[in-house]
């Protein structure tokens, strides 16, 4: 959300509008029109689309589809030397207290092994706007309020507008050359990557942009990725602009790239557990997918110093992303291993990880689990 929206939040206006809308907005299986100022809904059981008209009192309406949205009415007129009038967008992650279904964000940057996205835009002529792909990061795993660092990728710029701050150079990321701007809007720092010509569709590594921002000293690997977003910032006009398709996935188990590797590689599997283990497996299921939260409890008498949990997914299930563990295998036999900060589990203690998966009609839990080679009970 953008500059004036933060003022509205502080005044309590956003909270009121959002609660009113969320009481009626459900998953968008067919086209849904949203004209409420901060109206939002979910799509695909995975993403949130928000109208987010924050810089004008004039009406804006968006048509939400199963894969994105389009602006059907945009009546606001902004000052092209100032801020835009709105930011309709679709996102994965957490933004101003609202988290997309089953998201594994926030996640620590140092624990990300991959972060990817695919987006397709539809543009119009005669309007002043940018097609903005936003990546938000913060030193804490916050799910509300203003994040400290915003990364903006300008896929298209039309009219006499410019990013926040000033040009600091160029960068080559994802095989493309970008003009890099850096500055602050008074609430958060912003690094913008501006394409020299419009990009209508791209599948790319979000992590590449995060790494470039990290190399510039703006963040560290201990910061958290909180959301990935694609939308538009219109100043004048904008009816017909659309995000026709959006997807994003973030996988954990990356390790801290700033930490040198140990001189002696650790064993691929920790030693067997001394004692017992208990697994609690909870799912949130929809028609073609589900998220699973797995709790590993140490019921033995000695501490675990590293763990590897083995299980077999039923046929038709495929893992697409995970958090708080490094997974080997995405279907059939799977092994989940601890990451840097959750490998030590004391007696009577527990740790948790999760994943998102697709299914073809069977979302049943695995029938057996082994921890470091020893069989576990299930709760």
Residues annotated as catalytic are: 150, 233
Dig out the tokens for 113 from the structure. Answer: 């092994």
Dig out the tokens for 24 from the structure. Answer: 């009626």
Nearest to 85 by CA among 238, 240, 234: 234
Residue 81 is given by DSSP the state: T
In whole angstroms, what is the distance from residue 181 CA to residue 166 CA? 5
Other beta carbons within 10 angstroms of residue 315's beta carbon come to 12
Query: At which residue do the structure tokens 């967008």 appear?
Result: 89
* Helix (DSSP H) and strand (DSSP E) numbers for the chain: 3, 29
Q: Give me Rg for the CA atoms of the chain.
A: 22
Helix, coil or strand: residue 312:
strand
Helix 3-10 to helix 13-22 angle (10° resolution) is 90
In whole angstroms, what is the distance from residue 163 CA to residue 176 CA? 19
Helix, coil or strand: residue 273:
coil
Dig out the tokens for 86 from the structure. Answer: 């709105």
How many angstroms separate the first and last alpha carbons of the chain?
41
């Amino acid at each position: 959300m953008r500059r004036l929206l933060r003022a509205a939040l502080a005044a309590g206006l956003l909270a009121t509008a959002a609660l009113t809308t969320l009481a009626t907005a459900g998953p968008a299986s067919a086209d849904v029109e949203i004209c409420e100022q901060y109206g939002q809904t979910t799509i695909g059981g995975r993403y949130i689309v928000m109208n987010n008209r924050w810089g004008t009192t004039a009406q804006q309406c968006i048509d939400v589809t199963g894969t994105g949205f389009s602006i059907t009415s945009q009546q606001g007129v902004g000052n092209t030397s100032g801020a835009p009038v709105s930011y309709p967008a679709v996102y994965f992650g957490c933004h101003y207290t609202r988290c997309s279904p089953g998201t594994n964000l926030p996640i620590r940057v140092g624990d990300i092994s991959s972060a990817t996205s695919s987006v397709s835009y539809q543009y119009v002529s005669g309007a002043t706007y940018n097609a903005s792909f936003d990546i938000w990061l913060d030193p804490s795993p916050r799910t509300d309020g203003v994040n400290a660092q915003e990364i903006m990728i300008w896929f298209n710029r039309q009219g006499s507008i410019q990013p926040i701050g000033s040009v600091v150079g160029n960068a080559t990321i994802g095989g493309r050359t970008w003009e890099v701007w850096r500055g602050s809007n008074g609430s958060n720092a912003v690094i913008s990557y501006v394409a020299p010509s419009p990009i209508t569709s791209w599948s790319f590594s979000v992590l590449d942009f995060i790494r470039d921002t990290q190399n510039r000293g703006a963040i560290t690997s201990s910061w958290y990725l909180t959301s990935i977003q694609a939308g538009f910032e219109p100043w004048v006009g904008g009816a017909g602009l659309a995000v026709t398709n959006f997807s994003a996935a973030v996988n954990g188990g990356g390790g801290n790239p700033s930490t040198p590797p140990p001189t002696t590689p650790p064993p691929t599997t920790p030693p067997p557990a001394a004692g017992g283990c208990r697994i609690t497996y909870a799912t949130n299921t929809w028609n073609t997918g589900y998220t699973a939260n797995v709790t590993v409890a140490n019921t033995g008498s000695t501490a675990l110093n590293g763990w590897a949990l083995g299980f077999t997914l039923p046929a038709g299930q495929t893992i697409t992303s995970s958090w708080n563990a490094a997974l080997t295998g995405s279907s059939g036999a799977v092994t989940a291993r601890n990451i840097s900060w959750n490998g030590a589990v004391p007696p009577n203690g527990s740790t948790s990880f999760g994943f998102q998966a697709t299914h073809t009609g069977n979302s049943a839990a695995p029938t057996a689990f082994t921890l470091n080679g020893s069989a576990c009970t299930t709760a």
